[in-house]
Amino acid sequence: MNDILEGLVAAFWLVVTFDPDLMQISLRSLQVSLSALVIASAIALPLGTFLAIRRFRYRRLTISLLNALMGLPPVVVGLIVYILLSRSGPFGVLGLLFTPTAMIIAQVIIITPLIASITHQAMRELWAEYHDLLISLNTSGWQRIKTLIWDGRRNLLTASLAGFGRAIGEVGAIMIVGGNIDNATRVLTTAIALETGKGDFALALALGFVLIALAIGINISIHWLSRTEREGRW
């Protein structure tokens, strides 16, 4: 209990004094997770919508696979990305290992199936509602996807926020591919792991509280900006 209280006080002081290290780590966390979120959403939202509206061979298998990939162990993803980006790996020449880009790649792989799967579920229901109308209006496949994404944006926002939650709280994969290098690839989660290892629980907790505040703040900001809960809006 004492540690938690100390953590809260330390978090408060770190924030009010604009601690430079905290700012740098927090900004990097946001940069990595938001970049991963944008890239993963650009892939997963159309993919999930496509799976909801198109019938093709092996569709069920694809959906099952996507659902299974939601449970990808981040450490394994980190290991695979590490091997691919290491000097002896196929993408070693790019020199991306132990950079924020490598961390973004790992996070994209982890959260894309999650966002796509939630999108598929939401879009399947909306497609059932819109199916007859959109067929009747002779819409093209792309027009259907655009319409569903726009009209289902509230559900898609939830899908993306779930992805963001997973990304910002992820530690295993980014520790492996980022290396937790000070001033380069250290983010909030890897810093928490480091401080816990060093026994500085108060600082670890302080960073943890900042992480929680960031996650909640981003969620509230996105909901506010997209005006999801206002009267008569979706």
Decide whether 67 or 139 has the Cβ nearer to another protein: 139
Cβ-contact 22, 15 below 8 angstroms: yes
Applying CB under 8 A, which residues contact another protein? 126, 129-130, 132-133, 135-139, 143, 147, 151-152, 232-234
The least CB distance from residue 159 to another protein, in Å, is 16
3-state SS of 190-222 is HHHHHHHHHCCHHHHHHHHHHHHHHHHHHHHHH
The least CB distance from residue 232 to another protein, in Å, is 5
The least CB distance from residue 149 to another protein, in Å, is 12
Element at 34 (helix H, strand E): helix 20-53
Decide whether 88 or 132 has the Cβ nearer to another protein: 132
Residues in the chain: 234
Decide whether 26 or 155 has the Cβ nearer to another protein: 155
Task: List CB contacts of 193: < 8 A, sequence separation 6 or more.
Answer: 171, 175, 180
The least CB distance from residue 234 to another protein, in Å, is 5
Decide whether 147 or 189 has the Cβ nearer to another protein: 147
